Structure 1
Amino acid sequence: MAFQISFFLIFTGLTGIDSLTTVSKVSVKYGQSITIPCLYDAKYKNHVKYLCQGYEWSSCTYAIKTGQPNSQRFSISDDKKQRIFTVTIKQAETGYYWCNVEIDNWGDTGERFHLSVTTGTPSLYVDQQKLTAFEGGSIGIICRHSNSGQNKWCRLGGPCETKSSGWMDGTQVTITSKSNNYFTVEMSGLKTENSGWYLCVRGDHQMPVHLTVNKQSNSTSRTPTKGNELMSAGELHMIIIPLSLLVFLVMTTLLMWFLLRKYKQRRAEATTTTTIEEEVTYSTVDHTSKTTRKVQPKAEDDKVIYSTWAQ
């Protein structure tokens, strides 16, 4: 490990301060992972980068560095074009960490941040750290928090927006405080150069968010759309509940219509059967009536005979 920090560099303060930029305080829920971006100076493009764990720089220990295989707990990648290397920490532990760059024969340069792990609600967090949008469209980010302080939206190593509406790199930014536990950030009129790392900021805590803006293809609609991240759990319930009731009413109506139709069909069949039976009965009665009329002439003949015998 290259910890050859000269007394001169320490005394004069030329140990790489401002050569690296990263977060200062982040919070994560127990069992979840977090990715930390570390922005470095162009002169360190081909240097080895690493994550170091410990309160003091001079006594911290390697966690992971570029050029080595990733481990179960740590992984690292270096985007030399953007001059940002990122470290992902799994099974995180509360403590201090350093984003560092190796400098041969000189003191390594680094920037420290504090990571807190909690079983409750983190001080500041987002649902997703990596988002994708299209050029000319919009994206929304929900920054959830349990701490106090001012809301900010910052570009890593760049400007911050603190007002409810403003501009950042030619893109409109709108910050809205929805409730006591989250605020939303909307970026509209996106450009491909807006791709990169941003920070949700609340008080002294930050949460990194990476945005990738892709070019529009011919088959992609050019109508700007807001990211789904703008919809909170409460707002989602406000849509799901009425929609569920509507579906229930439609299904109930269809079921009632089906049962009523079956009832009418059975009633019609029963009416037809009754009519047929009645027609058969009338036919039998008519036949009996005809038989009776044939017998009556014989009775009249008998009366004539009795009349003649009396004379």
Structure 2
Amino acid sequence: MWICQHVLFIIFTLNCVSGAASLIHVFGYEGKEVKISCPYIKGYESYEKYLCKNGCGYSDILITTLQRNTSKYLIYDDTKKTIITVTISDLRSHDAGKYWCGVSRLGKDLYTEVQLEVKKDRCCDTVSKIQSIEKGSVSISCPYDFEYVNNLKYICRGNRPSTCLQQAVITSDTKQNGQFRLTDDRKSSIFTVTISSLTLRDSGSYLCGVQRKVGLDVFSAVELEVKELELFHISGIVGHPVTLQCPNPPEQRDKKMFLCKGDQHNNCTDIMENQRKFMLHNVSSSCFSVTITDLEAADAGTYYCGSDSQLSYIKIQLTVVSTDQSSTVSPIITDEQITSLTTSPHLTDVTLFYILPAVLALLLILVFLLWMVLKYKSRSKKVDGVGLNVLNSDVGMISNDIYELQENAVYMNTSSPPNMSNHDDIYTNILYRKDLSQLGNM
């Protein structure tokens, strides 16, 4: 009996599969959810509906309207529109395959075949890389197939296609949204998104999307890098010239060199046309120079210069002072400015190259001479000390001799008082004292 029922079930299943009336394609991303909508004919609103997979055997039934929901599947029967909607959550690659929407009835069930395709939720194998400068602007070109010329175009941040349209920063319906502007060239099948007033926070991944009526949207990936704008401070004197150094990288040689004045880069006035006031010179593969002749107080302000108004340029803050103030004001030179100026010959660099070693050598010579003087004085003190001791010793000896001679003289006078009648003794005593007096004077 069981064998007969099993055979009948297989025959029923084969009849169901072979009798499929339509095929629905559904696409989803890993980790996300997908909705499968299957219509049915009127008159079966009260019948049980279900979703099954593969051969749709008993073990292949995933959800029924009697269950309503499980941890992964949710089924809803819209009896007014006669549509069964099944939501499959937390998609994985093994969820891809063939499904069936079924309506239980006596005899053959009603069914609709569904083919589910699951893709990874990231894009793309090829990524275009572009760069720009802070406070500048950049244009992102997004090509598409001609068959989608009338479809909705959009761009979003990140690289997750599943949420790109919901998080789009601009679409072809809006065309302008803050710093984003979208234009569509239908003849060349390219839509362009321009981002103005760039900041460092605008760096990151972007997806260009084209909405499709059937299946997943079409995407292309872009990686944007916004570089920090270099700022230089320069001072000049009224009536004197001042020279500005501007970048001119080799890859931008075909670009027009520019120098403009204004607080905002996107809204500044190009002043290179006045060649009498602004003289262009020293053009090389890395930079060019612009000399502002006969400075005036009105020349002070903010300047932007370079060879690419979108990518390669710098910001210069020029201060102009009068002749009286020039002695107390000096230009501020940053490390970046020195690095920039080394890319081309400059008088300041040559001067520093020769002066600095000379100053260091002079300091070393002065230190050496000071050391020699101190050493000489130290030795002189030692020599003077020794000579003084010797001199004192000699004086002491002489004093002692004089003292002994005086004692002897006194002794002689007291022991043998002179006899007034003895002239020889008196004469001898006088000679002795005379000799003693001469010795004392020594």
Please state which band the TM-score falls in when normalised by the shorter chain: 0.3 to 0.5
Using CA pairs under 8 Å that are at least 6 residues apart, name the structure with larger relative contact order, 1 or 2.
1
TM-score of the superposed pair, with normalisation by structure 1: 0.46
Higher CA-based Rg: 2
TM-score of the superposed pair, with normalisation by structure 2: 0.34
